[in-house]
Amino acid sequence: MTLQNATQALKKYFGYDQFRPLQADIIQAVYDNRDVLVLMPTGGGKSICYQIPAVTLDGTAVVISPLIALMKDQVEGLSANGIPAAYINSSMDAAQIRRVEDAALDGHIRVLYVSPEKMVSQGFQPLLKRLKISLFAVDEAHCISAWGHDFRPEYTQLKFLKEQYPGVPMIALTATADKLTRKDIVSQLELNDPATFIASFDRPNISLTVASGQKRFEQIVAFLKERPRQSGIIYCLSRKNCEILAEKLNQKGFRAAYYHADMPASKRSQTQEDFINDRVPIVCATIAFGMGIDKSNVRFVIHYNLPRNMEGYYQEIGRAGRDGLPADAVLFFSYADVMSYRDMFEQGDSPQEQKDLKIAKLERMFQFAEALICRRKTVLNYFGEPYDQNCGNCDVCKNPPRQFDGTVAAQKALSAILRTGEKVGMNLLVDILRGSSKRDIFDNNYHQIKTYGAGKEYSYNDWLYFLLQMMHLGLIEVAYDDRHRLRVTGEGNKVLFDGKKVPLAMPIPKEQQQERAPRSAEKPRAQLLREELFERLVQLRRAVAQRQGVPPYLIFSDATLQIMAEKHPVTDNAMKEISGVGERKLQLYGDVFIGEIRKFVAEKKGEGHQVRGGTQIVTWEMFRDGHSVEDIAQTRGLAVTTIHSHLSSMYELGESLDISRWIEPEECDVIQGALHLFEEPYQLRPIMDHFDGRYSFDKIRWAIADARRRSREQE
Ligand code: ADP
Ligand code: ZN
């Protein structure tokens, strides 16, 4: 089997034109009959790595997968692409299992998903023995590691596979990258000198933002308003909070549900189904939500509270943007969260060693949130992946903080801490500095100390921001064991008494921050049309999905719909070229989607918009297949001039075409030089008259198309 076969299968079944980094190498290693270990982040494209070998090699690929929900999803996805697939697990009765077994033995199944329990059970062995197995794939292979949080004891019994089927290649896949897990996988599965592939864990399409925890509800509302109908998860720390937040969002007119471990199982799975099927776009959830959700069009993940460690953070935000389209991860950071975690960890009755580890990890999380360096750099370095550049897609890169000499501000804060006898926590300290008239202040006579009101020039948030930095610089520390009082350290004393300088960063006011997305009035018209068509295709997808009883993203991904909204495929040929449209989906859904796009194109043309589509595309396809203009005119029974007008508008819309065969560059220049004398939309006749008929209509058309294309490109 060769990579060429693999590439053809990729297009035929999945509709993709090329492999992502490493996918081809991994597939080649399987073809070479090697064992393989794959470490790739969520959304990296692991499934293709065993599914392509499965459809190109003889026999059945047996996939061990730990979650029934995911199995079902994968099988539906494969079936939708015309790949015969099935699963066997404990949710099925004997007759159902029997049917699948028979189909497998008859060679009708290319990919067979099996739960680990079933795999190791005695009852399953006779089938395995009689099956022609092309490869074994062990999905979520980290479940083998007793160190990890997803430990599944049956996984450790899987070594019998290599012992009994030594000639069958085995591919183990996981999104957990640490070395210990990796070693566990190789040794426990008894992989034979495995080819190991470690993909970058960067997810460049997810933009990373850390925002202040102040007024987070208002911030979330503003965020959601910019993203109507988009799907996302909001993680909260407490179950109660999930409910409250969902309720408040509903009151604001958003459709939000909640999800946590205290709900009855039926309610939980209902919420999950509603989310997966795009019926409820927003779910407020504890971290119990997400495992087993394969939905590719999650557009944002918000952390209402600070995650407890970087591992959790990265895993949770990884659920966004699996389709590769832009997605947002927003984390709200408040010092109060750090304090409540600390209390929680301290109070638990686990051994001190474990408590310390948890606190150390929390510390790293907290440093990530308050540090003023590129977020992606911090995350990837934390996971041991060197990353030197600034990513350009995080809040720090987009709005680099302004450094200033903060010595005086720091001195005011330090002096106030000392004058309270080191008795106050962060919030009260800021109240003192800002001269607040809260009762706490008068009760303790803090209004009489010298630094009361000495920091009015900075806002409450500015001060919190400064204090965090001062903590980071080691000037102050928090007595966690004593009501979180602030204390001045030795370094802090140097600032007060030895004139040590303190560089601080100023938060950038909201108004000055780079605008996230242009408001619709400012968007170019082409973009508005694209968004409108995308929205219609999303609706159509939902209707089709509902009729068929499958999740919408299994019909076409958002990424595929985006490309359709851009390219307007209105013929089978054009549709086939869209990434994500394989043969089966073209057959099943091609007509419906083409119909909708045609309707859209006709409508927009009727409204006088310049849009790509319809008859123009038929001309364009024939031209691209090598027919001459005259040829096309004859075949289609249209005038030659009409064909020129079709081709020139396709050119204007960005198709690549050598126009010099119809118009010399000099002629083009001359005509374009006169265009300012006329008004858009240009009439051809007056321009022709202007040049005393020296240039044909077709030439004038080409010159105009070229001018418009250029100005479009500048837009
Ligand atoms: P993982 O299992 O690693 O989380 P998936 O296998 O679910 O990731 O793939 C994530 C998404 O990327 C899916 O929508 C998948 O169809 C898409 N994808 C995978 N490989 C390619 C490719 N070569 N070209 C385009 N899209 C791809
Ligand atoms: Zn960055």
392-408: pLDDT as tens digits: 999 999 988 888 999 99
Residue 338 C-alpha to ligand 1 middle, in angstroms? 36
Confidence of residue 386 (pLDDT cuts 50, 70, 90): confident
Stretch 430-459: mean pLDDT: 91
| Strand duo 256-259 + 298-303: pairing | unpaired
Query: Which tokens in the block code for residue 236?
Result: 């909260």
pLDDT at 346: 84
Task: Answer yes or no: are the C-beta atoms of 176 and 148 closer than 8 Å.
Answer: yes
Query: Which tokens in the block code for residue 6?
Result: 């693999």
CATH number of 3-198: 3.40.50.300
Residue 207 C-alpha to ligand 2 middle, in angstroms? 9
Beta carbon of 507 within 6 Å of any ligand 1 atom: no
Lowest-confidence range among 143-147, 214-218, 296-300? 143-147
Beta carbon of 260 within 6 Å of any ligand 1 atom: no
Which atom in ligand 1 lies closest to the alpha carbon of residue 44?
3
Confidence of residue 596 (pLDDT cuts 50, 70, 90): very high
Question: What tens digit of pLDDT does each residue of 314-344 get?
Answer: 989 999 999 989 999 999 998 889 888 988 8
Q: Where in the chain is the domain with CATH 1.10.10.10?
A: 403-505
Residue 146 has pLDDT above 80, yes or no: no
pTM: 0.75
Q: Where in the chain is the domain with CATH 1.10.150.80?
A: 525-609
On whether the 206-370 domain is CATH 3.40.570.10, my answer is no
Strands (E), 286-417: 298-303, 327-333, 402-405
**Residue to mutate, 14, 113, 556, 584, ligand 1, most ligand atoms under 8 Å from C-beta:** 14
Stretch 186-191: mean pLDDT: 95
Q: Which residues have their alpha-adjacent CB atom under 5 A from ion ligand 2?
A: 374, 376, 390-391, 394, 397
Confidence of residue 612 (pLDDT cuts 50, 70, 90): low
Question: Which residue's CA lies nearest to atom 19 of ligand 1?
Answer: 45
Q: Give the contacts of 609 (CB within 8 A, at least 6 positions apart).
A: 525, 529
Confidence of residue 80 (pLDDT cuts 50, 70, 90): very high
Q: Distance (Å, rounded) from C-alpha 437 to C-alpha 13?
A: 69
pLDDT at 306: 95
**Percentage of the chain lying above the pLDDT 70 cut:** 96
Beta carbon of 73 within 6 Å of any ligand 1 atom: no
Residue 203 C-alpha to ligand 1 middle, in angstroms? 13
Task: Answer yes or no: are the C-beta atoms of 556 and 580 closer than 8 Å.
Answer: yes
Beta carbon of 585 within 6 Å of any ligand 1 atom: no
**Residue 10, CA distances (Å) to 173, 310, 490 in order:** 19, 35, 63
Stretch 46-53: mean pLDDT: 97
pLDDT at 69: 80
Question: Which residue's CA lies nearest to atom 17 of ligand 1?
Answer: 45
For the chain, report the end-to-end CA distance as a whole number of angstroms.
47
In angstroms and rounded to an integer, the radius of gyration of the C-alpha atoms of the chain is 31
Confidence of residue 622 (pLDDT cuts 50, 70, 90): confident
Q: Which ligand is nearest to the CA of 396?
A: 2
531: how many CB neighbours lie within 10 A of its CB?
14
Please provide the average confidence, as pLDDT, over all residues in the chain: 89
3-class DSSP state for residue 290?
A: strand
pLDDT at 571: 79
Residue 560 C-alpha to ligand 1 middle, in angstroms? 12
Query: Which tokens in the block code for residue 506?
Result: 């100023």
Stretch 243-249: mean pLDDT: 97
pLDDT at 510: 63
CATH architecture of the region 525-609: Orthogonal Bundle (1.10)
Residue 518 has pLDDT above 60, yes or no: no
3-class DSSP state for residue 582?
A: coil
What residue has token string 């992989």?
191
Residue 514 has pLDDT above 60, yes or no: no
3-class DSSP state for residue 454?
A: coil
Q: Mutual orientation of helices 490-497 and 407-419 as an angle, nearest 10°? A: 110
Q: Which of 266-270, 346-350, 603-607 has the highest mean pLDDT?
A: 266-270
Question: What tens digit of pLDDT does each residue of 641-679 get?
Answer: 889 988 888 888 777 788 898 899 999 999 999 998 888
Which atom in ligand 1 lies closest to the alpha carbon of residue 19?
23
3-class DSSP state for residue 87?
A: strand
Question: Regarding predicted confidence, which is higher, 400 or 231?
Answer: 231
pLDDT at 512: 65
Residue 210 C-alpha to ligand 2 middle, in angstroms? 11
What CA dihedral angle connects 288, 294, 296 and 297, to 10 degrees? Answer: -40
Residue 325 C-alpha to ligand 1 middle, in angstroms? 12
Burial code (b: 16+ CB inside 10 Å, e: under 16) for 437-471 equals: eeeebeebebeebebbebbeebeeebbbbbbbbbb
Confidence of residue 519 (pLDDT cuts 50, 70, 90): low
Residue type for 533, please? L
Q: Which ligand is nearest to the CA of 210?
A: 2
**Residue 381, CA distances (Å) to 178, 311, 367, 368 in order:** 13, 12, 13, 11
Q: Distance (Å, rounded) from C-alpha 520 to C-alpha 450?
A: 52
Beta carbon of 557 within 6 Å of any ligand 1 atom: yes
Residue type for 248, please? K
Beta carbon of 139 within 6 Å of any ligand 1 atom: no
pLDDT at 258: 97
Stretch 507-513: mean pLDDT: 66
Residue 638 has pLDDT above 90, yes or no: no
Strands (E), 91-180: 111-114, 133-138, 170-174
Query: Which tokens in the block code for residue 32?
Result: 């070479």
Residue 304 C-alpha to ligand 2 middle, in angstroms? 21
Residue 628 has pLDDT above 70, yes or no: yes
Stretch 468-472: mean pLDDT: 81
Q: Distance (Å, rounded) from C-alpha 355 to C-alpha 700?
A: 77
Residue 139 C-alpha to ligand 1 middle, in angstroms? 14
pLDDT at 177: 66
On whether the 403-505 domain is CATH 3.60.20.10, my answer is no
**Residue to mutate, 17, 203, 296, 578, ligand 1, most ligand atoms under 8 Å from C-beta:** 296
**Residue to mutate, 38, 138, 201, 322, ligand 1, most ligand atoms under 8 Å from C-beta:** 322
Residue 188 C-alpha to ligand 2 middle, in angstroms? 38
Confidence of residue 520 (pLDDT cuts 50, 70, 90): low
pLDDT at 509: 66
**Residue to mutate, 47, 67, 558, ligand 1, most ligand atoms under 8 Å from C-beta:** 47
Q: Where in the chain is the domain with CATH 3.40.50.300?
A: 3-198, 206-370
Beta carbon of 45 within 6 Å of any ligand 1 atom: yes
Residue 381 C-alpha to ligand 2 middle, in angstroms? 12
139: how many CB neighbours lie within 10 A of its CB?
22
Question: Regarding predicted confidence, which is higher, 519 or 190?
Answer: 190
Q: Distance (Å, rounded) from C-alpha 232 to C-alpha 330?
A: 11
Q: Distance (Å, rounded) from C-alpha 85 to C-alpha 69?
A: 15
Which atom in ligand 1 lies closest to the alpha carbon of residue 17?
24
Stretch 284-310: mean pLDDT: 90
Question: Which residue's CA lies nearest to atom 15 of ligand 1?
Answer: 45
**Residue to mutate, 16, 78, 319, ligand 1, most ligand atoms under 8 Å from C-beta:** 16
Residue 321 C-alpha to ligand 2 middle, in angstroms? 17
pLDDT at 193: 95
pLDDT at 70: 84
Residue 18 C-alpha to ligand 2 middle, in angstroms? 28
